[in-house]
Amino acid sequence: MQLQDCAKNQRVINRETGQVGTVRDLHRSELEATVVYDNGSTTRSALRALEPAVETAETIDTTDPIETSGPQRSCPQCGASVPVQVVTCPQCGFQYGVAKRKSGSSLKVIVLLLVAGVAAYLVWKLGLLD
């Protein structure tokens, strides 16, 4: 990490130890920083041994975009929210394809929604061509 990239109270990770902490003090002339690590220890480290820490919340939406985006339905067996394109529930293993006769009606609803979506898309597309 460069001196200009480092600021007080910035979250950093120590490349050598893998520990995450907060910059408490900067020692510009020595290119070092005093870091309070999350485990309670306070260490003075060279800036080149530190990297800006990326908090989990900022990376959470890049982990699996297919699983988290798009329409969802709730699993009839465990109630988990599952993307409609997933045929096997990741929580309990319930398979939508081999569901009982009863769920045929919900399949119809999904088909109708898909048809409605395609129709809406066509209307939108034709509207743009006008």
Would the CA dihedral through 57, 63, 69, 75 be positive or negative? negative
Pull the structure tokens for residue 109: 């609803």
> Does 94 participate in binding Zn ion (rule CB under 5 A)?
yes
Region of 30-38, 64-72, 83-91, 115-123 interacting with Zn ion (CB under 5 A): 83-91
Of residues 42, 91, 95, 106, which one binds Zn ion by CB under 5 A?
A: 91
Environment class of 70 (CB within 10 Å of its CB; exposed 0-12, middle 13-18, buried 19+): exposed
Region of 11-19, 23-31, 78-86, 98-106 interacting with Zn ion (CB under 5 A): 78-86
Pull the structure tokens for residue 16: 């050598």
Of residues 7, 78, 84, 112, which one binds Zn ion by CB under 5 A?
A: 78
